[in-house]
Amino acid sequence: MSIKIVNQRSHRLINVIFALVLVLGIAVSGMVFYKGDYIARKTVELIDQQVPAYDLLRKLNNSLIEKERFLYEFYAMEQQDDFERGYSEINQQAQRVLDELIVRFGDIPPLQITQSSLKELNILAGEFVLNITASQTNWTLARQQLRTISDVRRATSPQIQQLITLTENKVERSEQVIINGLELVRFFVVLYGLATLILAYIVAKAIKAYLSSAVNNQRLSLFSTRNPNPVISLDNQNAVTYCNPATENLLKKLGMGAGKAELLLAKNIDVYQKQLLVEGKADSKQFEYQVEQLYFQCDLHWLEDQRQWDMHLTDITARKKFEQALQYRASYHPQTGLLNRYELEKSVTQLCQIEQKFTFGLIEIRSFSQLISGQGVTVASTVVKEVATSLDNIMSSIDKAGGRVFHVGEKSFALVCTSDLSNTQIDSLVEQIDQRIGSTIFHSQYQVQLDFGFANYPQHGNDYTQLHKNSLAALDKSARSEDKRHVLFNLQLGEKLRYEQQLIEDMRIAIEMAEFELYFQPQMALSSEKIIGAEALIRWQRNGQWIAPSEFIPLAERAGLIDTLGDWILHTACQKAQNIVSLGWDDLIIAVNISPLQFGRKDFLSKVTNVLKETGLRAKNLELEVTEGVMIYNEQEAIETLTQLKKLGVHLAIDDFGTGYSSLSYLRKFNIDKLKIDQSFIQDIQHQAADQSIVRTIIELGHNLELKVIAEGVEGLEQQQILTSLGCDEIQGFCFSHPLPEQEFIDFLQQHRAV
Ligand code: C2E
Ligand code: MG
Ligand code: MG
């Protein structure tokens, strides 16, 4: 671009300078010619007229003086022959010169006077000669005559001098005119020479710039030859005028045949050409186009001075493919090829904008983490793909609601049905999906179960976030209660959600302000009726109201607060336990509830070790209560942690035994001390034979594995007696004590027999 400008400037400058030199040359030549002619004329005039006239005047003066001299010599010598010869010659000469002067100057007064003086001189000379040649020469007269002759002759001198002065002035003027003319000519010639020199300097500079730009051009022209990308030039009829070797290589590669560069042009190149010319702001335009399977970026240039198009092509196929892949990734889930969560958000937002009623649904594969830990990631991934395909097929076959399926998370799908479905319609949809999924044989014979949650626009939300949140709430609730008939969000659920959100916020503050307390619920050995320990239970009074741990602990788990809260519980429980133990109950065991999430943390073991070290509590005074849920995440790791904890000397109990994991085989692998029978089996044990037999089985199982068995939630004496009869080792419950604050628990210990 800059080279092109340099070229244009050099060209323009050289042209201007040539024009200037030409005009100046013509002007100076004309002037020199005119002045030269004028000087020549003046010189001729000077040489032909004024100089001879001047000469004649001098001659005339001399002739008159000579004439007078001859007369005086004649007077003195009286040699008549010499006198007559010389005198007549000089007389004729004087007359000739005078005649010539009259011709040159005309019959002007000084010449008229001189003419008459000459005549008078001749007369006087005649008279004088007569007197001398007379026999009786009158010498006095002769002298008188000579004086008169001298006077007359002298009288001619001013006239001649006047003419000489006139001629001299003329000569001087002519001379001045010639000198001035010559000066002027010299000035213009010098000026012209100087101007030519300056212009030559400018031209030289311009030529230098031109040459260097030409060199640059030449160097640049090699760029296109060596350019690995195609470069094509077109004339203004779009006929190819040049293509570089890279173009030929590409044509060969595409099998288009040599020299067919026009096949590489964009089909609608004329559109871009017009745009470039119409816009006129830039001298190039960039656009992208496709030729066969390749994508090109074209930089189109219009070269005005050469009236042709230059095109630089860049192969952007790899970038385009990458962009397409990214675009695909932006809209589709790579695992299943279903539309992803961004597309879901987009279509939901669009529907909200046009205020079209619709139903939003979330579907999750139940117990997915168990599927991964049990069958491995590969099987889990295959199952997800199969579920995706099934859901897609089901939705296209049901189609009544015009539903679309999205894959929104590892185990989660979403549905958007373009009409708002009633509760009954949703139930029937869920049933149909469940039936089809139930009858599908998935990879590794895995039995897939799905959880559902639905929300309707606009009743249950005005935007994606709300609809998603509410259908997730519906899904959570139905998954927790396993109630597939109530999967549609409702206002009570919304109310509950808001309440829970507030509870979470308050819990955050309560953690910071250490507003929690620990209570201790005593545990008793049935055989000795001695207090052997206690379970530490968290208590929280919020705005003067007790909030049940069963309410806020799961929320803390969901909101990610359980780690901080769990740390506080463990540390405080150990501290207080050490207090109590140090009061003299050496073998007292304080049980602390550990959430599965807390237990699953990599640093849990080191936390327990540190807490024991910090509080000084011995490991044998601490029991950790974990639920069967700890197995859900990673069975192997859970076993490993339990083993390490056991090595530390800490007691381990399985809480709420009988309600969680269905398989009992893991119990053999666990190095635990105690099974804690869930209170749901105890509640009605005095009336329900089935509960009794379950409790019996658990006790037997525990004993077989050499584990202690404790029953919790024992409220009455009858229950206690049954448990004693069934061989249960320990009990915990309202029948002998509610959970107590620390001091009350210490009082309780002092009042009762304790270990
Ligand atoms: P859990 O570990 O099974 O605790 C026993 C629950 O039964 C306690 O409820 C206790 O107050 C209650 N209970 C004890 N005896 C009786 C009885 O005779 N009748 C009845 N109806 N209930 C009895 P709480 O304190 O409300 O705790 C509920 C659950 O919250 C606990 O069940 C435990 O899972 C969790 N939790 C409580 N404290 C903590 C804690 O410090 N950390 C963790 N991670 N969870 C805790
Ligand atoms: Mg417990
Ligand atoms: Mg329990």
- pLDDT above 70 coverage of the chain, percent: 95
Q: Which of 170, 173, 177, 179 is nearest to 57 (CA)?
A: 170
Instruction: Identify the band that residue 755 occupies on the pLDDT scale cut at 50, 70 and 90.
Output: low
Contact 628, 639 (CB under 8 A): no
Atom of ligand 1 nearest to the CA of 598: 44
Looking at the CA of 733, which ligand is closest? Answer: 1
Contact 49, 104 (CB under 8 A): yes
Q: Which pLDDT score is estimated for 576?
A: 98
Question: Tokens 């009455």 appear where?
Answer: 716
Atom of ligand 1 nearest to the CA of 656: 3
Predicted confidence (pLDDT) per residue in 258-280, tens digit: 888 888 999 999 999 998 888 87
Q: Cα Rg for the chain, rounded, in angstroms?
A: 66
Predicted confidence (pLDDT) per residue in 349-391, tens digit: 999 999 999 999 999 999 888 888 888 899 899 999 999 999 9
Whether pLDDT at 2 is above 50: no
Tell me the CA–centroid distance for residue 655 and ligand 2, in Å: 5
Instruction: Identify the band that residue 8 occupies on the pLDDT scale cut at 50, 70 and 90.
Output: low
Taking residues 114-140, report their average pLDDT: 87
Q: Which of 676, 613, 675 is nearest to 648 (CA)?
A: 613
Q: Which pLDDT score is estimated for 355?
A: 93
Contact 540, 556 (CB under 8 A): no
CA max distance for the chain: 219
Greater confidence, 673 or 440?
673
Mutate to test the pocket of ligand 1, among 523, 654, 712 (most ligand atoms within 8 A of CB): 712
Q: Which pLDDT score is estimated for 516?
A: 97
Predicted confidence (pLDDT) per residue in 563-602, tens digit: 999 999 999 999 999 999 999 999 999 999 999 999 999 9
Question: Tokens 């550990």 appear where?
Answer: 594
Atom of ligand 1 nearest to the CA of 548: 26
- Cα separations (Å) of 386 from 144, 389, 390, 431, 443? 167, 5, 6, 19, 8
- Residues near 159 by beta carbon (within 8 Å), at least 6 away in sequence: 110, 111, 113, 114, 117
Q: Which pLDDT score is estimated for 455?
A: 94
Q: Which pLDDT score is estimated for 493?
A: 81
Pairing of strands 531-542, 589-593: parallel
Tell me the CA–centroid distance for residue 716 and ligand 2, in Å: 19
> Which residue's CA is minimally distant from atom 43 of ligand 1?
593
> Which residue's CA is minimally distant from atom 32 of ligand 1?
550
Asked if the domains 231-323 and 515-754 are classified in one and the same CATH topology, the answer is no
Taking residues 698-722, report their average pLDDT: 95
Which residue pairs from 255-261 have beta carbons closer than 8 angstroms and sit at least 24 positions apart in sequence?
261/230, 261/232
Q: Which pLDDT score is estimated for 401?
A: 58
Tell me the CA–centroid distance for residue 537 and ligand 1, in Å: 6
Contact 640, 660 (CB under 8 A): no
Domain spans of the chain, in order of start: 3-225, 231-323, 337-489, 515-754
Contact 168, 116 (CB under 8 A): no
Tell me the CA–centroid distance for residue 684 and ligand 1, in Å: 18
Predicted confidence (pLDDT) per residue in 54-69, tens digit: 888 888 888 888 888 8
Contact 68, 76 (CB under 8 A): no
Lowest mean pLDDT among 21-35, 519-533, 709-723: 21-35
Question: Tokens 């953690």 appear where?
Answer: 511
Look over the chain and give the mean of its residue pLDDT values, rounded to a whole number.
87
Whether pLDDT at 476 is above 70: yes
Ranges of beta strands (E only) in 333-449 are: 358-365, 404-407, 412-417
Q: Which pLDDT score is estimated for 660?
A: 65
Looking at the CA of 684, which ligand is closest? Answer: 1
pTM, rounded to two decimals: 0.53
Pocket of ligand 1 (CB under 6 A): 521, 536-538, 548-550, 553, 569, 593-595, 625, 655-656, 679, 712-715, 732-734, 739
Whether pLDDT at 662 is above 60: no
Residue 709's φ and ψ, nearest 5 degrees, are -125, 130
Whether pLDDT at 214 is above 80: no
Q: Which of 689, 744, 748, 686 is nearest to 713 (CA)?
A: 686
Q: How far apart are CA 568 and CA 422, in angstroms?
A: 47
Predicted confidence (pLDDT) per residue in 430-449, tens digit: 998 988 888 888 877 778 88
Contact 720, 729 (CB under 8 A): no
Domain with residues 231-323, CATH architecture: 2-Layer Sandwich (3.30)
Tell me the CA–centroid distance for residue 608 and ligand 2, in Å: 18
Greater confidence, 555 or 178?
555
Atom of ligand 1 nearest to the CA of 562: 44
- pLDDT above 90 coverage of the chain, percent: 45
Tell me which fold the domain 337-489 belongs to.
Alpha-Beta Plaits (3.30.70)
Instruction: Identify the band that residue 5 occupies on the pLDDT scale cut at 50, 70 and 90.
Output: very low
Whether pLDDT at 547 is above 70: yes
- One-letter amino acid for residue 693 of the chain: S
Peptide linkage before 458 cis (omega within 30 of 0): yes
Atom of ligand 1 nearest to the CA of 678: 3
Domain with residues 515-754, CATH architecture: Alpha-Beta Barrel (3.20)
Q: How far apart are CA 435 and CA 23, in angstroms?
A: 103
Burial (CB count within 10 angstroms: exposed 0-12, middle 13-18, buried 19+), residue 208: exposed
Whether pLDDT at 702 is above 70: yes
- One-letter amino acid for residue 520 of the chain: F
Tell me the CA–centroid distance for residue 706 and ligand 3, in Å: 21
Atom of ligand 1 nearest to the CA of 550: 30
Q: Which pLDDT score is estimated for 3?
A: 41
Which residue pairs from 284-289 have beta carbons closer than 8 angstroms and sit at least 24 positions apart in sequence?
288/316, 288/320
Instruction: Identify the band that residue 515 occupies on the pLDDT scale cut at 50, 70 and 90.
Output: very high
Whether pLDDT at 212 is above 50: yes
Give the chain's length: 755
Lowest mean pLDDT among 86-90, 285-289, 387-391: 86-90
> Which residue's CA is minimally distant from atom 15 of ligand 1?
733
Predicted confidence (pLDDT) per residue in 396-416, tens digit: 887 665 789 999 999 999 999
> For residue 199, how far is the Cα from the chain centroid?
49
Taking residues 101-114, report their average pLDDT: 86
Tell me the CA–centroid distance for residue 366 and ligand 2, in Å: 26
Instruction: Identify the band that residue 695 occupies on the pLDDT scale cut at 50, 70 and 90.
Output: very high
Whether pLDDT at 607 is above 80: yes
DSSP states along 203-258: HHHHHHHHHHHHHHHHHHHHHHHH-SS-EEEEETT--EEEE-HHHHHHHHHHT--T
Predicted confidence (pLDDT) per residue in 633-656, tens digit: 677 888 899 999 999 999 999 999
